[in-house]
A and B are shown apart, each in its own frame.
Chain A
Amino acid sequence: MSRRRRLAAAALTVVAVALAGCGAGGHAVTVHPVRSAGAPRPAGVKPYHPPASAAPAPPCDPRASGPRPQGQLPPPGQMPAGSAMDRIVQRGRLIAGVDQNSYYFGFRNPSSGQIEGFDIDVLHEIARAILGDPNAIQYKVVTSAERIPALTSGQVDIVADSMTITCDRLQQVAFSTDYFDAGQRVLVRKGSGYTGLKSLAGRKVCAAGGTTSIRTLAESADHPVPVAVDNWTDCLIMLEQNQVEAISTDDSILIGLAAQDPYTEMVGPRFTDEPHGLAIARTSPELVRFVNGVLERMRADGTWNRLYDHWLTPLGPNPGPPRAGYAD
């Protein structure tokens, strides 16, 4: 009895639901197939094409390319008339090409809005030596690819941006003595299984355009696929967004990237040797000599060690400043 009633109730419910379904109106709806929104890309990402290499640069010693400092540095503000340093004194500030995306070396501190880092502190020492004021610097942020044009066009006096001294580059600009030694390695996502450049054959590997790093990647016998970006942080963004498999450049820069994302790790050995120099226009050899003098003083009086200890301990224990070599 009660069972029949329950059955009847169930039947009624079914009919009611069916009727309600029939009654539900509204216009037809087309469901569009879901596609991924696609990964966003940083500005200026492009596949890398190595520059048509001009005549190969004559062999040279990148670690002994510049003039030896002579005697004591002139006191700040009293530079030899007509020299590049004198023009800087007249102007009242040093104009420096820097990066604001290389953590530890040259980066914009988000909380203060100021550009800071090891390279920036070296510039402060140079400004102090020329002008007597470590802060008399005008920064011009340049991408890696813009560094040499900025110097040759005279937009900046000096570039301090983890720039490797190479024989090729010495054809276009002059370099100070080696003030920091680095070597190229590979940064990957933790647990990705890559063990070094060898395991990245045919995989996308990111580096900033216009650097020695991306050229090394393009010329590597392991044949990774180089992807060029404007800034090093763009590489890390693309690594985080799974758009590239690895980043490869100087370990000093990679350490700075890894510090911003604990889910990355450096793998494989150093496979290049990258002496970093401050780049200066070839038309100002006196400025190169002066800067070499400042670097010499920083090595001698412990300033270099102090800067290393302040910024670069994540890289490992202080190896001491690189030895200076000179062409003359």
Chain B
Amino acid sequence: MTTTTARPAAPAPARPWRRWPERVRGAGTPAVLAGGGVLVVLVCLLFGLSGLVTMTGRADASRAVATRSEPLSVDGQELYRALSDADATAASAFLSGGLEPAAARDRYQADIADAGAALATAFGAAGETGPAHDDLARISSQLPVYTGLVETARTYNRQNFPLGSGYLREASTLMRSTLLPAANRLYRLQTAELASDRSHATAAPWVLLVVGVLALALLGAVQRYLTLRTNRLLNPGLLVASGAVLIGLAWVFGALTAQAGHLDASRQSGSAQVQVLTEARAAALEMRSDEGLTLVARGDGARFETDFAAASGRLGGADGRGGLLGRARRLAAAHPPDAKARAAVDTTAADFAGWLKVHRDLRAEDDSGRYNRAVELATGADRATAASAFARLDGELGTALAHAQDRFAREASRARGALTGSAAGTAILGLVAAAAAGYGIRQRLWEYR
């Protein structure tokens, strides 16, 4: 099966290959035919092998995208969100005066638990060295310090000592100067890994293409040679071999096109939106935390207000139609299949604009000396406060994010599905082509004896 010289059944001279050189020197046809036959069989085998390697690699890369790098980037995003939400929640709980509301405490504790879980997942996936490991080590060593400072702040607050707010400031400084930058770097690393896995999964299969075309060309050449020399129009073995290679090529290209299509869809309607929405959510949290800290600083919060303005420009531009929210809307509109996600993104502009308006009002109240009214506008529970505008915006972004992640998972699993069996299939087709070509040529070779 693997060489033209194999002699399975027929009675034959003991070592026919010994006689090939004479034939090459001699009549020509059998020698050329035998040489061509070996070449064709080898190329067909190579086609099967490269099909196996290429398609296995593709399937692995697709699996990595769907089951590793994307979930990891979601995990990294959750880590960042949980940390920055904890910071914003702690700041605004402090603002309300007296005991912090139970809901705020619950939210803070859920955030810390989320961050711990996300950290464990990220540690499990990261190697023992490299930049991801360093950032993870930094976060995991500083997170307990952060929570310790927050609890100390809480204890002093309960004793009515202003020292509590000092500890809270120290905690927030640690969060903003160390934990959040590390989490942000980690998320960027994970996003870069996702992009690299995806490009591995969709790299053009040049080797397979070249080998397949070469196999077809050789099969055609041998067929043509035989037709000229033997006057027989078609060699069934070669025909089957050509068919197998053609089917293999068609399968490969069908599968790869479908896979690339789904992966592209997973990016366009999935992870690209996930990324924009994640950044949007982080910007909204930053604004919320700045808003609280401006009030906590009480007139000494100009830098937080500057931060707020920068983050709000990034998030929604002037009116919620620009910035990240605008990009999220455009992405959702360009890939319309998910109406629910579109609806969630569509309402963010209004809530963003509403929040900015409340924020301007509360800044005006604070600047004209009505501090308590400003705090009320920032933290109050009724509909027209910054707290509820933020909660609505955050909720919508969360919904849109969940939809985008679902879409990603769906398309990524379809991309994997498109490749099912293609590695084994092309390998088998390569073997079939080699066997058929070998058989067909051997048939002709027999005739020369």
Binding site for B on A (CB under 8 A): 29-30, 32, 35, 37, 40-43, 93, 95, 100-103, 107-115, 136-143, 146, 231, 233-234, 236-237, 259-261
Contacts and interface: CB of A to CB of B under 8 A. Distances in A.
Interface in B265-302: 297-300
Which secondary structure dominates where chain A touches chain B?
loop
21 contacts: A32-B137, A35-B141, A37-B141, A40-B142, A40-B146, A40-B170, A42-B166, A42-B170, A43-B169, A100-B298, A101-B162, A103-B163, A111-B97, A111-B98, A113-B95, A115-B298, A138-B368, A139-B298, A142-B299, A231-B166, A233-B163
A147 to B, nearest CB: 11
Contacts of B149: 40
Contacts of A143: 300
B299 A113 contact: no
Contacts of A40: 142, 145-146, 149, 170-171, 173-174
B138 to A, nearest CB: 9
Interface of B: 95-98, 128, 137, 141-142, 144-146, 149, 156-167, 169-171, 173-174, 297-300, 368-369, 371-372, 375
The 5 lowest CB-CB distance pairs between A and B, nearest first, are: A113-B97, A138-B369, A233-B166, A140-B299, A141-B298
Contacts of A231: 166, 169
B300 A140 contact: yes
Name the residue among B158, B165, B174, B300 with the largest chain A CB count within 10 angstroms: B300
Contact of B98 (A113, A139, A234): A113
A234 B96 CA distance: 22
A293 B371 CA distance: 29
Contact of B162 (A37, A110, A142, A146): A110
A42 B162 contact: no
B210 to A, nearest CB: 38
Contact of A260 (B95, B161, B174): B161
Contacts of A30: 128
A142 B297 CA distance: 9
Nearest to A34: B141
A110 B166 contact: no
A100 B162 contact: yes
B173 A43 contact: yes
Nearest to B154: A110
A29 B368 CA distance: 61
B300 A141 contact: yes
A137 B170 CA distance: 29
A41 B142 contact: no
Contact of B170 (A41, A109, A138): A41
Given A42-B173, A113-B375, A260-B156, A139 B299 contact: yes
Nearest to A106: B162
Contacts of B137: 32
A139 B149 CA distance: 27
Contact of A108 (B142, B165, B174): B165
Given A37-B141, A100-B165, A110 B298 contact: no
Nearest to A233: B166
A236 B300 contact: no
Nearest to B143: A37
Given A110-B161, A139-B371, A234-B169, 4 more contacts: A29-B128, A110-B156, A113-B372, A141-B298
B163 A260 contact: yes
A236 B299 contact: no
Nearest to B161: A260
B305 to A, nearest CB: 13
Contacts of A260: 156, 159, 161-163
Contacts of A113: 95-98, 372, 375
Contacts of A109: 160, 162
Nearest to B167: A237
Contacts of A108: 162, 165, 298
B99 to A, nearest CB: 8
Nearest to B99: A111
Contacts of B158: 110
Contacts of A101: 162, 165-166
A154 to B, nearest CB: 14
B98 A110 contact: yes
A37 B144 CA distance: 9
A42 B169 contact: yes
Given A40-B149, A43-B173, A141 B163 contact: no
Contacts of B156: 110, 260
A138 B166 CA distance: 22
B14 to A, nearest CB: 52
A191 B161 CA distance: 23
A318 B162 CA distance: 24
A143 B300 CA distance: 8
A110 B169 contact: no
A146 B301 CA distance: 12
A202 to B, nearest CB: 26
Contacts of B128: 29-30
Given A95-B369, A109-B160, A260-B156, A236 B98 contact: no
Nearest to B141: A37
A35 B169 CA distance: 25
Nearest to A261: B163
A35 B159 CA distance: 33
A137 B157 contact: no
B369 A93 contact: yes
A146 B299 CA distance: 11
Contact of A37 (B142, B298, B299, B369): B142
B124 to A, nearest CB: 12
Contacts of A236: 163, 166
A236 B299 CA distance: 23
B368 A140 contact: no
A102 B161 CA distance: 10
Nearest to A257: B163
Contacts of A111: 97-98, 160
B141 to A, nearest CB: 4
B144 A112 contact: no
A106 B169 CA distance: 18
Given A140-B298, A142-B300, A146-B300, A237 B98 contact: no
A264 to B, nearest CB: 11
A110 B145 contact: no
A283 B302 CA distance: 25
A43 B162 CA distance: 16
Contacts of B97: 110-114
A237 B170 contact: yes
A234 B170 contact: yes
